[in-house]
Amino acid sequence: MQHGFSQVVVASGRKMVFISGQTAWDIRKKIVGGDSLLEQARQALRNVQAAIEAAGGTLKDIVSLRIYIVNYQPENAEAVSIALQEFFSSENPPASTWIGVSALAVPEFLIEIEAIAVLD
């Protein structure tokens, strides 16, 4: 799991869960992590985790991520990879697409993560 994601994921189950883009906001709408892409990624993933748990699943049920990164450069990959590896098992991580963007909904956001999960 070099970068924290799989090239292919095969999922089975009957219930699909689509999680809207999660950012570095905490429950009080305060941005966590400031200018740190790693810390913002960790908070966005904590929010993904809370969302999937609210739907009755776990991080293991997530099969795909779409990650938007502001002003993406190759040197950003390490921070995102570290965060992904902290949250997802190396045995079966979700598929992932990383997309560089010029901006997100709030100027201070550095990353936004959408997720798809399949529950049995």
- Mapped onto helix, strand or coil, the DSSP state of residue 9 is coil
pLDDT tens over the chain, length 120 residues? 455 666 776 777 789 999 999 999 999 999 999 999 999 999 999 999 999 999 999 999 999 999 999 999 999 999 999 999 999 988 889 999 999 999 999 999 999 999 999 998
Residue 54's pLDDT is: 94
Domains of the chain: 15-119 (3.30.1330.40)
Q: Kindly report the pTM of this predicted structure.
A: 0.89
Residue 3's pLDDT is: 57
Q: Which residues contact 1 (CB under 8 A, 6 or more apart)?
A: 85, 88, 90, 93
